[in-house]
């Protein structure tokens, strides 16, 4: 299980992996779940490259590009819902970039918006709610939004700040500051 899923919450629903979560949210629609897996893995890889906190290997980068350039465009769910998915990705990207800017400002002592970064940094997870809505309707999407976000965003704000402080310290140590 990786960082997307919270152990205690998932065990109650028998969800052990991201793919289990995505299949549950998508009511077993494998094409939709694969779209979510490809996009969330890509978001994680991109974030690791951007933050330089976890090294991205050549194998990981190659897999990410293959998934984005070959598998995603061929996916039937993606083909049917491409424009909506791309709109959500665009918004999530803007929010992620804004969160990164706020985090960089924090690195230089500007702390007044750090809570905003904490909230908007994982907007890409709205894709899970979108898929649930398309597949199961608004009531299902509401249930998924609550449970999936609870599993995905288990990090508290103080833990987020501590993690950010550790990333900053590691970057400074690597640069000899």
Q: Does some domain include residue 149?
A: yes
Tell me what the mean pLDDT of segment 67-81 comes to.
Answer: 98
Q: Give the SS3 label for residue 5.
A: coil
In Å, what is the CA distance from 8 to each residue of 16, 28, 90, 147, 152?
10, 22, 32, 12, 12
| String of DSSP letters for 140-170 | HHHHHHHHHHHHH----HHHHHHHHHHHHHH
CA–CA separation, 152 and 154 (whole Å): 6
Q: Is the CB of residue 33 less than 8 Å from the CB of residue 22? A: yes
Side-chain-side CA neighbours of residue 122 (13 Å): 20
Per the prediction, the chain carries an average pLDDT of 89
Q: Does some domain include residue 2?
A: no
Sequence-distant (≥ 6) Cβ neighbours of residue 168 within 8 angstroms: 106, 107
Q: Please write the tens of the pLDDT for every residue from 129-139.
A: 999 999 999 99
Per-residue pLDDT at 23: 97
Tell me what the mean pLDDT of segment 79-85 comes to.
Answer: 98
Residue 1's pLDDT band (cuts 50, 70, 90): very low
Per-residue pLDDT at 13: 63
What is the span of the domain harbouring residue 74? 7-175
Q: Does some domain include residue 1?
A: no
**Residue 122 or residue 36, greater confidence:** 36
Tell me what the mean pLDDT of segment 62-87 comes to.
Answer: 98
Q: Does some domain include residue 36?
A: yes
Domain count, the chain: 1
Q: Does some domain include residue 59?
A: yes
Q: Please write the tens of the pLDDT for every residue from 6-26.
A: 343 444 467 889 999 999 999
pLDDT of 5 strictly over 50? no
């Amino acid at each position: 299980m990786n960082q997307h899923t919270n152990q205690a919450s998932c065990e109650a629903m028998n969800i052990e992996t991201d793919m289990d979560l995505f299949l549950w949210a998508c009511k077993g629609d494998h094409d939709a779940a694969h779209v979510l897996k490809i996009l969330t893995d890509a978001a994680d890889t991109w974030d690791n490259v951007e933050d330089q906190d976890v090294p991205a290997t050549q194998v990981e980068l190659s897999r990410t590009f293959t998934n984005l350039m070959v598998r995603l465009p061929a996916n039937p769910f993606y083909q049917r819902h491409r424009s909506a998915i791309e709109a959500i990705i665009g918004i999530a990207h803007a929010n992620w970039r804004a969160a990164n800017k706020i985090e960089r400002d924090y690195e230089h002592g500007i702390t007044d918006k750090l809570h905003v970064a904490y909230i908007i940094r994982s907007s890409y997870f709205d894709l899970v709610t979108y898929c649930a809505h398309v597949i199961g309707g608004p009531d299902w999407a509401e249930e998924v939004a609550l449970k999936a976000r609870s599993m995905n965003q288990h990090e508290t704000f103080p833990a987020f700040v501590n993690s950010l402080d550790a990333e900053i310290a590691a970057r400074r140590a690597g640069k000899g500051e």
